[in-house]
Structure 1
Amino acid sequence: MPTTHVPQCHIPTYDTPRIVLIRSRKVGLINRAVQLAILAYVIGWVFLWEKGYQETDSVVSSVTTKVKGVTVTNTSTLGTRIWDVADYVIPPQEKNAVFIMTNMIFTLNQSQGHCPELPDDNTECNNNSSCVPGYVSTHSNGIQTGACIPYNSSIKTCEVFAWCPVEDDNHIPKPAFLQAAENFTILVKNNIWYPKFNFSKRNILPTFSSTYLKNCIYDAQTDPFCPIFRLGKIVEAAGQNFQEMAVEGGVMGLQINWDCNLDRAASHCVPRYSFRRLDNKDSANTVSPGYNFRFAKYYKESSGIETRTLIKAYGIRLDIIVFGKAGKFDVIPTMINIGSGLALFGVATVLCDIVVLYCMKKRYYYREKKYKYVEDYELVSTSEGRMEAQLFPPLILKQDVQSPYHTQTLYRSCEEGLSSLERLIFTSKLLREALKTILCFLGNHS
């Protein structure tokens, strides 16, 4: 009866690595080059540059400021006036920031009443019909009463109920009102803490004396750790012109960097200062350039009428930005990075396999050596005749047995036969030892 070949299902297969030693100078050089590159990356970048052997923590910070400086102005509106910290620092304290007024528009002696609105396309009028009682827009200074009254000898505007006279901020003083503000000084007190390492420090270093602190001014070259900054120097260090910035105001950033290596002495953990402008400096490309806000000072006259002085303040807002990271040796990140580095060495093997199996001229020869297909042992016939044939393959010698090819065939057949015989002997020994163990176990429990 003819036998039918039934195809076997190859889905449940198992792959195991096979070590093949390839004596190729080209592949060997590629392998060593990739391994050296990985070793340089792990040692140079991961451990030396990024300090992968350290545990890290982010900084927790608090900041306080103190401004000092006095100047004097002489104008037709205010006369001769002295300006100190209480006049130009508004508000007195902010969170991680300070505002210093450099320019202003005053509207003196305002009181609530009826007065003409500032002239523009929406407020100019010829008669009362152009004004709507109760109307108020986003840019109005008050609520329209419905009357059209003279603003000056040539222009009429709608009357409003507001703080009168209304503010006119169309003309910003140039140069800035407080030009001398560039000489004002700012003391920045910064305390930092790394909770993971219980390490704290402040920017007023232990080596500072009271005499030094009273006289020093920050300079990147001569006094890089002095915590007292001249306002003009801060603006100049950011590449800006102070007198130009003082007219419409702006926002500056004082950055304090606390990057500390706590494996070294605490004296090496020091602040690094840098400066930059945070707002858009190009007034031609922004609708609302600079930085300003309004505040008022209120009074009450002897007649009981409440009055105020409205001030539109332009100035420099200084934001103190503190950031940093501390690192200290720890076993866990060290072992993780070492393990990751060792795992990367597998890239060299993968790359060399790609070169050998797909790029080299002898790739088909190497594929035969690299991959070996083994059938399931249970599917192999165990008949005595087949086993004998596998253990002792026939050695067929022709007349030209002295030829190299048949000599190699003879050696290969002998080696395969001896190897199979050794496996059979080893298997029989294992079975004999297993049988002894079973008999001893049964004897002990009988």
Structure 2
Amino acid sequence: MTSPYIPRRRAGSDHSSTPGRVPPSPGYASSELSTSTVTARQNPVAAAARFFTGMFAACLSPPELDNSKSIGDSEEFKSSSTASNGSRAGSRRGRGSNGSMSLSSYNIVQKKEPGIVKFTMEEIYQVTRNFSHSFKVGQGGFGAVYKAKLLDGSVVAVKRAKKSLYEKHLGVEFQSEIQTLSRVEHLNLVKFYGYLEQGDERIIVVEYVPNGTLREHLDCIHGSVLDLSARLEIAIDVSHAITYLHMYIDHPIIHRDIKSSNILLTEHFRAKVADFGFARQAPDSDSGMTHVSTQVKGTAGYLDPEYLKTYQLTEKSDVYSFGVLLVELVTGRRPIEPKFELKERITAKWAMKRFIDEDAISVLDPRLDQTAANTLALQKILELALQCLAPRRQNRPTMKRCAEILWAIRKDFREVLSASNFHSYSSTSQRSTSLRE
């Protein structure tokens, strides 16, 4: 079996088949991961190999690189994380109690499978106190989210699917999410603990991320403004996560719903990508295919226009969404702003026009200072965003290349910041000496 930590080789031309055209609907149609993915995941040899590889893989922040250095061998993309600051999976921050109950470790151990824990309904009732409102911390498209604590001290988010919508589309999304989460483990992805599927109950248990979503912070819901340095680090974290999904697992995955409300932040503002309900297995390069023919699914404002037009899904669709996210990070605006005048309503289009017209500074989030370091980073981030937002997928960079460029931007940003701070310190010191004399 191919090692899950060796990047696959990709074919150079598109598959010639064209799917049947079905007009996309606001709710979008669902698709599911292939059964071969599940079979591969249950192979005990492969599971053992992934476990021991993950044990020794590093998950520290990558070193600074210049523009020419490759990160293809960086363990940041390949590694799993065995420790985390906790996670959350809701779309809004709640005001629930911090109280929690513990699960029976005996039952969990008895039901453990490779990469999966099958919880019982009794355990879920225990840990959430029968889904107490005081434990509820969010409400998303999947359903309600509750905060709880396991016996080993792990703080988790218990995601309970909406029952009324289950038969329509959530069943496929549920299967997609548990199949994806059970195959992946990375510092910048939410950690998967297990699931429950019993009767009309569909529950997913993941780590709890305590600091809300990126979108909440861009909206200043938590009372403070994210500086550009923090936003750049978040972009790098997300690029690591997506690169890992695209290149460093045996059956690469297209997330298909990269957006600010699906990016959760720890107390230290490390980003974790969440919500894999729309995830789809990438095309099998060994067969010569370079896209998956599927009905459109995703979030308005982030959707790849070529995917919308052709129904052909590739990893470059995630790259397009990432480009929208980059614009969102530097402007602070949502991808679609209905309250703005027509020419500013689509944020990425508006920002790219300003950038091409050499007026990039006008799109900078007004809550950020127009310093030399910020201006430099803004220009370079928008330049990368322009590449990611190319109308044709072959003109977009890979996620690996996006990460390399962002590393170089961070390096230049820090150098300019250090120089500015040194200049400011020197000027202050000279004024102090002059006053003493």
Structure 2 length as normaliser, TM-score?
0.19
More strand by share: 1
Structure 1 length as normaliser, TM-score?
0.19
More helix by share: 2
